[in-house]
Amino acid sequence: MLILGIESSCDETAVAVVEDGRRVLSDEISSQVDIHAVYGGVVPEIASRNHVRAISALADSAVARAGITKGDIDAVAVTYAPGLIGAVLVGVNFAKGAAMALNVPLVPVHHIRGHLAANYIAFPELEPPFLGLIVSGGNTILADVRDYTDIRILGSTRDDAAGECFDKAARVLGLPYPGGRPLDELARGGDDKTYDLPRAKIEGAPYDMSFSGLKTAVVNIVHNAEQRGVAIDRPGLAASFAAAVSDTLVPRAMAAAAELGYDRISVAGGVAANSRIRRDLEAAAAKAGKRLYMPPLRLCGDNGAMIASQGYFEYLAGARAGMDLNAYATMRVDRAVY
Ligand code: KG4
């Protein structure tokens, strides 16, 4: 079954063709990162306009690169939540038009479920159940992935997402947006014990997380140093910060996997590209005898292939949307409202 997957929830317009949920025939991405970098963050209105500009040609190119014709497409899958509402709407409306013109089913896909599906592509043998750790620019969630479309939230951030926190810490360190990757690179030259940063715990909610105190701590260190005219150890601060995020995520993921009795942990989302977090997860998983699944870097960020992949499993579970499908800025990963 060939699924055309469409993603436009933030600053990447992406269209892909995936066969039977696992085999990627094409995966086209048009990133707006450079356009938004000058503003230090994604400007929603600009993102929407650029999705409109890019999406049609990108879909043509995804079909051509897949070596198929439009008539071969069996269903259209699209991110309908969560994301920047104007941006998501562009993909949803394009997908409606495509599904109607091709006379094929329209399948709504939750963006975070899509991130989890990145590992179905990277590891064809991976099947639920497993523990899911989703760390992206807008979400930080520990999930019990019981089945492809049966996902329960075990814990999530109470405030900022890990990626948001990386971007903010990078910004005060004078690094370009999005700051996760440059901060990761800066951290490699630093000592992670240079600064004592907080690792928040939430009483009574062992799998919930909080990153806003960590973010404020980094901002305060930089501002205090500026006011006193003293230099900060930038690589040291970056390394201490990455260690604090990793210390928040990794032990929780391991504890949740142990509690549920899962021997597999699947990690997804843009922050899953972080070298410190990857290294710590690998070490902890090896120690606990768990198998770790992490997407290759190109599948960590937003892409259309993961939406087409999850779309296939949603399709098998019976998910269908009509021409009245709406876009939603927020939606829990364990819900499917459309
Ligand atoms: O999953 P994603 O592409 O978009 C969302 O759906 O949110 O994640 C983007 C986030 C950004 O906050 C970016 O700074 C972060 O992923 N990121 C990283 C790294 N690469 C990207 N964070 C830490 N280390 C990295 N190497």
Q: Is the pLDDT of residue 60 over 90?
A: yes
For residue 112, what pLDDT band results from cuts at 50, 70 and 90? Answer: very high
Residues with CB under 6 A from ligand 1: 10, 136-138, 163, 166-167, 178-181, 184, 269-271, 273-274, 301-302
Residue closest via CA to ligand 1's atom 16 equals 270
Taking the CA of residue 162 as reference, the ligand 1 atom at the shortest distance is: 12
Task: Give the integer Cα–Cα distance in Å for 175 and 186.
Answer: 9
Cβ atoms of 330 and 40 within 8 Å: the answer is: no
Distance from Cα 272 to the centre of ligand 1, integer Å: 7
CA angle 161–304–335, rounded 5-degree value: 55
Residue carrying the six token digits 């043509």: 60
Task: Give the pLDDT confidence score for residue 266 in this predicted structure.
Answer: 98
CA of 270 to the centre of ligand 1 (A): 3
Q: What residues form DSSP beta bridges with 140?
A: 135
Q: Tell me which of 7-11, 104-108, 153-157, 294-298 is least confident.
A: 294-298
- Ligand 1 pocket test, pick from 30, 167, 181, 294 with the greatest ligand atom count within 8 Å of Cβ, gives 181
Look over the chain and give the mean of its residue pLDDT values, rounded to a whole number: 97
7-19 pLDDT per residue, tens: 999 999 999 999 9
How high is the pLDDT of residue 247?
98
For the segment 144-153, the average pLDDT, to the nearest whole number, is 98
Q: How confident is the model over 116-141, as a mean pLDDT?
A: 96
Dist CA 178 CA 249 (whole Å): 20
Specify the pTM: 0.95
Cβ contact 242:108 at 8 Å: no
Mean pLDDT of 309-334: 97
What pLDDT is stored for residue 251 in this prediction? 98
Q: Is the dihedral angle over the CA atoms 38, 39, 45, 51 positive or is it negative?
A: positive
pLDDT at position 44 is 96
* Mean pLDDT, residues 68-82 taken together: 98
- Which residues in 12-22 are b (16+ Cβ under 10 Å) and which e? bbbbbbbbebb
CA distance 275 to 252: 18
Residue closest to 277 by CA, chosen among 136, 120, 154: 136
What is the distance in A from the centroid of ligand 1 to the CA of 274?
Answer: 8
Radius of gyration of the chain (CA): 20
Interacting residues of 228 by C-beta distance below 8 A, sequence separation 6+: none
pLDDT at 336 over 90: no
Instruction: Kindly list the distances between the CA atom of residue 98 and the CA atoms of 43, 55, 117, 288, 323, in Å, as whole numbers in the listed order.
Output: 27, 11, 23, 47, 11
Query: Which two structure tokens, joined as six digits, stand for 32?
Result: 């707006």
Which residues neighbour 224 within 8 Å (Cβ) at sequence distance 6 or greater?
none
Q: Which atom of ligand 1 is nearest to the CA of 185?
A: 26
pLDDT digits (tens, 9 = 90+) for 188-220: 999 999 999 999 999 999 999 999 999 999 999
Ligand 1 centre and the CA of 57: distance in Å? 26
224: confidence class by pLDDT, cuts 50, 70, 90: very high
67 CA distance to ligand 1 middle (Å): 31
Q: How confident is the model at residue 68 (pLDDT cuts 50, 70, 90)?
A: very high
Question: Which residue from 139, 166, 307 has its CB within 8 A of the most atoms of ligand 1, so it is best to mutate?
Answer: 166
Query: Hey, whose CA ends up nearest to atom 3 of ligand 1?
Result: 301
SS3 sequence of the chain:
CEEEEEECCCCEEEEEEEECCCEEEEEEEEECHHHHHCCCCCCHHHHHHHHHHHHHHHHHHHHHHHCCCHHHCCEEEEEEECCCHHHHHHHHHHHHHHHHHHCCCEEEEEHHHHHHHHHHHHCCCCCCCEEEEEECCCCEEEEEEEECCEEEEEEEECCCCHHHHHHHHHHHCCCCCCCHHHHHHHHCCCCCCCCCCCCCCCCCCCCCECCHHHHHHHHHHHHHHHHHCCCCCHHHHHHHHHHHHHHHHHHHHHHHHHHHCCCEEEEECHHHHCHHHHHHHHHHHHHHCCEEECCCHHHHCCCHHHHHHHHHHHHHCCCCECCCCCCCCCCCCCCCCC
| pLDDT average, residue stretch 76-90 | 98
Confidence at 338, pLDDT banded by 50, 70, 90: confident
Q: Which of 271, 297, 333 to mutate to test the pocket of ligand 1 (most atoms within 8 A of CB)?
A: 271
